[in-house]
């Protein structure tokens, strides 16, 4: 009896794994979950273009076009999200992005985006930090965030 239960669990887990793999594979093309760039609700900036995003996330500027300080935020633990974001933004894989920042680490003048561990942390940061600029899945957008850029 017990054995049969265990077997069932294994089968279900396997099936789940399969579906999850399926989901993963089909996500970018099939029904990809869209990534959006969000800021604090109270931030005056209404929208940003791709170039503006690049300038902010890649360290060229540290302020929004209206002069207000901007703090770009990376998700440390959700590699998928991060990778999808940078792929969509500059067309480069994460190792290249990491290498870029390693290269600039010693110049001191430019800083990489601030780090938050999870999407939840990011959500929280966005609620508290008015200069925050982050990317989340569209599904994770809350009322406290303002979407300023949407990847097609």
Partner 1 sequence: MINIYGLGVRLSLFLIAAALMVVLTTAEFFYRVTYENEINEANHDIEELYRAVGSTASIAAFLEDKELAKEAINGLVKSDKILAASIKSDSLYYQLNVNEAINRDTEPRMFVVRNPFMPEESLAEVNIYPNVDHIIQQAKNISTDNSYALYVEALVVGIVALVIAYYIIISPMLRVGRSLHEITPGTAQRIDIPDYHSRSEIGNLVNDTNQLLDKVEDQFSQERQLREEIEFLEKRFRMLFENAKSATVLITEAGTIELNNSAFTDLVEKIGLDAKPDYGELLSELFENPTAIKATLLESFSRNEFATGEFKLKSVNKNVIWVQLIASPLITEDGERFYQLTLNDISNRKHELQMLAMQADFDSLTGIYNRNGGEKLLAKLMNKGHHFALALIDLNGFKAVNDIYGHDAGDEVLKFVSEELKDKIRKNDMAIRWGGDEFVLLLQAEDEESVRTAIAKVNDGVKKPFYFNSESTPTVITMSVGVAFYPRMSRDINTLIKLADIAMYQAKQNKIVAPNDYLIFAKPDSHDKGDKA
Q: Is the dihedral of CA 111, 152, 23, 29 positive or negative?
A: negative
By CB under 8 A, residue 115 contacts partner 1: no
Helix (H, G, I), strand (E, B) or coil at 8: helix
Query: Taking the complex as a whole, how short is the minimal distance between the CB of residue 85 and partner 1, in angstroms?
Result: 13
By CB under 8 A, residue 60 contacts partner 1: yes
152: its two tokens: 């097609």
Query: Taking the complex as a whole, how short is the minimal distance between the CB of residue 108 and partner 1, in angstroms?
Result: 9
Binding-site member from 103, 128, 139, 143 for partner 1 (CB under 8 A)? 103
Q: Tokens 């069932």, residue?
A: 8
What CA–CA distance (Å, rounded) separates 124 from 34? 20
What CA–CA distance (Å, rounded) separates 111 from 114? 8
Dihedral pair phi/psi, residue 20, rounded to 5°: -60, -40
Query: Taking the complex as a whole, how short is the minimal distance between the CB of residue 106 and partner 1, in angstroms?
Result: 9
User: Residue 50 CB: number of other CB atoms within 10 A?
Assistant: 13
By CB under 8 A, residue 104 contacts partner 1: yes
CB 145 within 8 A of CB 103: no
Binding-site member from 29, 51, 95, 152 for partner 1 (CB under 8 A)? 51
Binding-site member from 90, 94, 114, 141 for partner 1 (CB under 8 A)? 90
* Nearest CB to partner 1, comparing residues 30 and 91: 91
By CB under 8 A, residue 52 contacts partner 1: no
Q: List residues near partner 1 by CB under 8 A.
A: 51, 54, 58-60, 89-92, 100, 103-104, 107, 109-110
């Amino acid at each position: 009896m017990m054995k049969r239960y265990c077997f069932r669990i294994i089968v279900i887990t396997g099936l789940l794994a399969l579906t999850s793999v399926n989901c993963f594979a089909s996500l970018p093309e099939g029904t990809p979950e869209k990534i959006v760039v969000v800021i604090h609700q109270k931030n005056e900036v209404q929208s940003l273009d791709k170039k503006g995003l690049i300038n902010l996330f890649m360290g060229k500027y540290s302020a929004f076009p209206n002069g207000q300080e901007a703090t770009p935020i990376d998700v440390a633990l959700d590699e998928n999200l991060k990778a999808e974001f940078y792929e969509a933004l500059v067309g480069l894989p994460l190792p290249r992005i990491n290498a870029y920042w390693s290269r600039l680490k010693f110049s001191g003048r430019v800083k990489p985006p601030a780090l938050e561990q999870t999407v939840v942390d990011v959500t929280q940061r966005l609620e508290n930090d008015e200069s925050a600029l982050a990317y989340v899945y569209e599904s994770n957008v809350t009322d406290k965030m303002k979407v300023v850029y949407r990847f097609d």
